[in-house]
Amino acid sequence: MTNDRPKNRMKSNLHNNDNITAPKFPLGETAFGVSQLGVKTIILADGLFPSSEQVQNLLKKAETIVCCDGAAQKLLDFGIEPQYIVGDLDSLSEEFKQRFAQKIIQNTDQETNDLTKAVEFCISKNWKQVAILGATGLREDHTLGNISLLCNYKKQLDEVVMISDFGIFTPIFETTIFKSFPEQQVSVFSLDPETKLTFKGLKYPVVNQFFTSWWQGTLNAALGDSFEIVLHNKGAIIVYTAF
């Protein structure tokens, strides 16, 4: 996709295919929000705390919340006691650490960030469907790092998404159909420039194209109630769908 985007639209040609794997979360129900997202385990990162009511409701309804270090204080300020606190604990006061000593899993490994430590903790508990909140906002380098790690996490989890106040990031490794609504904003990020992609059901069509830079797949839009991202070969893709 270039700045001179084609004006013609690719007609949606979505059909059942044994080679297509849709996300296991009921992402179709999130096309207009996240209120019915089937998430039991949430990792709350220490970025910008969710301000959207629909995202905050996920925290209120979650069975398990794993906090990354300082996110535990933010969750407590929101009115929910943290269940698990993972990280090197450099963002928490001594008083807080003493109060929640039984819920702390300290990991001082400096080769990974606290979000990765929280994911590894979930894996150790066999919690394989995870939604990550609070991983964007604040410092942009942290945001980019967290988003780029999604495909790493996808290799270890059955399903993982990252949810902000504005939309959902979903990593995929194979051709995938997403439910959507007309004019829903969609961006596609290819982490491997050797991956050949085709988009179906999006306003700006892409056919057998390689993306060598992250911006090239951004600012597209759904034409109807579903769209398809086709991977013609091995690759790691992150799809962003706005609420």
pLDDT tens sequence across 70-91: 999 999 999 999 999 999 888 8
pLDDT at 27 exceeding the cut of 50: no
Residue 172: per-residue pLDDT: 97
pLDDT at 229 exceeding the cut of 90: yes
Q: Is the C-alpha dihedral spanning 156, 161, 164, 166 positive or negative?
A: positive
Residue 37: per-residue pLDDT: 58
- Looking at domain 34-167, its CATH superfamily turns out to be Thiamin pyrophosphokinase, catalytic domain (3.40.50.10240)
Residue 40: per-residue pLDDT: 84
Which CA distances in Å does 79 have to 37, 50, 74, 115?
22, 13, 9, 22
Residue 38: per-residue pLDDT: 61
Which CA distances in Å does 14 have to 10, 157, 195, 232?
12, 27, 21, 16
| Level-2 CATH architecture, domain 1-21+174-243 | 3-Layer(aba) Sandwich (3.40)
**Domain extents for the chain?**
1-21+174-243, 34-167
With cut-offs at 50, 70 and 90, classify the pLDDT of residue 235: very high
Report H helices in 105-139.
114-124
Q: In whole angstroms, give the CA distance from residue 28 to residue 231.
A: 20
On the 0-12 / 13-18 / 19+ scale of CB atoms within 10 A, 71 is buried
Residue 129: per-residue pLDDT: 93
User: Across residues 31-48, what is the average pLDDT?
Assistant: 72
Which CA distances in Å does 64 have to 42, 44, 48, 81?
6, 10, 20, 11
In which region does residue 100 sit, left (phi positive, over 0), alpha (psi from -120 to 50) or beta (all else)?
A: alpha
Domains 1-21+174-243 and 34-167 share a fold: yes
Q: Is the C-alpha dihedral spanning 233, 238, 240, 241 positive or negative?
A: positive
Q: What percent of the chain has pLDDT over 70?
A: 84
Which CA distances in Å does 160 have to 97, 222, 231?
29, 22, 19
pLDDT at 158 exceeding the cut of 80: yes
